[in-house]
Amino acid sequence: MNALTPSRRSPGMSTTTIVYLALVAILVIGAVLVSMSGRNLFSNANIVDLLTRSSLLGFIAIGQTLVILCRSLDLSVGYVMALSSLIAATTMDGQVSRIPIAMAAALGVAAVIGLVNGVVVTKLKVNAFIATLGMGLIIKGYLDTNYAGPAGDVPEAFQSFGYTRIGPIPLSTIVMFAVAAAGIWFLHRSRTGHHMYAVGGDAEVARMSGVRTDRTVITAHVLCALLAGVAGLLIASRFGTGSAGVYDDGYDLESIAAVVLGGTYLLGGRGGIGGTVGGVLILATLDSVFNTLSVDPFIKDVLRGTIIIAAVAVYARRSLSGAPTRRRFPERPPEPDIPGQPGDTPTHSETGAGGRP
């Protein structure tokens, strides 16, 4: 097996399996609680609302997974999403013919922001927390100075991205699941995906093994910003305009919570997008249950925080008590003993202990 190829054998139940079992349990408990109030959690309106929430957060969380796997972080995703929605809406300006160039402009700017984030983190050695927070504040200053409210005009043809449904499933959710499937393939089948696990596990060992660590981290930041740009396009399609205020909705921290809740190790090298999608669905289900039951917003945040802390505690205890589920590099075989070499363990005959005098 290649040194950078993740092992597919797990000694026990995988973290992703636990995440989806927890999702099923929350759905069952939530359905019972909602039914006790005389309502139905699985009504068509609730399902559409749950899946729509999942798609918006899902795009951002999938990108956040990539950078966290590389032991990095991106706190600028909410601002990138807001900026992308404005660029797309103002470029379209109500004209269908401008949709392609508007999408290209929004995603292009998002990719450049991700590139700058990656370069600052890897080349200037600025902590990812500070680098991406600083980038977010720069974008926030630009948005606050130039946009007092919604701007631009999205044609109806593009709004179908946010409102079209196939049965009860929104088109945006189908696109999000397709992106998640592509991300899973990318992490497990591509060389760059294997490098992300290696860099997150131990960047120095990965570098000595021939991995271009800086390029890997930069790629993760670019992909993360691109997916935040896709979320911005979804915002523009649903609102019909660009919106600067969405950066204040906490998608940056919520995406990190979804990634951690999905079982990805916050220090990198372990986890995956499958678990992240489960984490996103758990948060969306909790929101749907709380909203249906009209839970106080403060109590709602307390319960969400408690669940996230409990989940991370369970993962931490499990990782301490169990064997590692992913082998990043093969163990070095023991070196043969060479008589006379420094560091050799003395034999009994050499020390005289237990031997003839």
Give the 3-state DSSP-derived string for the chain, with helices as H, strands as E and coil as C: CCCCCCCCCCCCCCHHHHHHHHHHHHHHHHHHHHHHCCCCCCCHHHHHHHHHHHHHHHHHHHHHHHHHHCCCCCCCHHHHHHHHHHHHHHHHCCCHHHHHHHHHHHHHHHHHHHHHHHHHHHCCCCCHHHHHHHHHHHHHHHHHHHCCCCECCCCHHHHHHHHCEECCEEHHHHHHHHHHHHHHHHHHHCHHHHHHHHHHHCHHHHHHCCCCHHHHHHHHHHHHHHHHHHHHHHHHHHHCCECHHHHHHCHHHHHHHHHHHCCCCCCCCCCCHHHHHHHHHHHHHHHHHHHHCCCCHHHHHHHHHHHHHHHHHHHHHHHHHCCCCCCCCCCCCCCCCCCCCCCCCCCHHHHCCCCCC
CATH number given to 21-318: 1.10.3470
Q: What is the pLDDT along the chain (357 residues), one digit of tens a residue?
A: 444 444 444 456 788 888 899 899 999 999 999 898 888 888 888 888 889 889 999 999 999 999 999 999 999 999 999 999 999 999 998 899 999 999 999 999 999 999 999 999 999 999 999 999 999 999 999 999 988 778 889 998 898 888 888 888 899 999 999 999 999 999 999 999 999 999 998 889 999 988 999 999 999 999 999 999 999 999 999 999 888 888 888 888 889 989 988 989 888 888 899 999 999 999 999 988 888 888 888 888 888 788 778 877 777 776 655 544 444 444 455 555 444 444 444 444 333 333 333
The structural domains of the chain, with segments of one domain joined by +, span 21-318
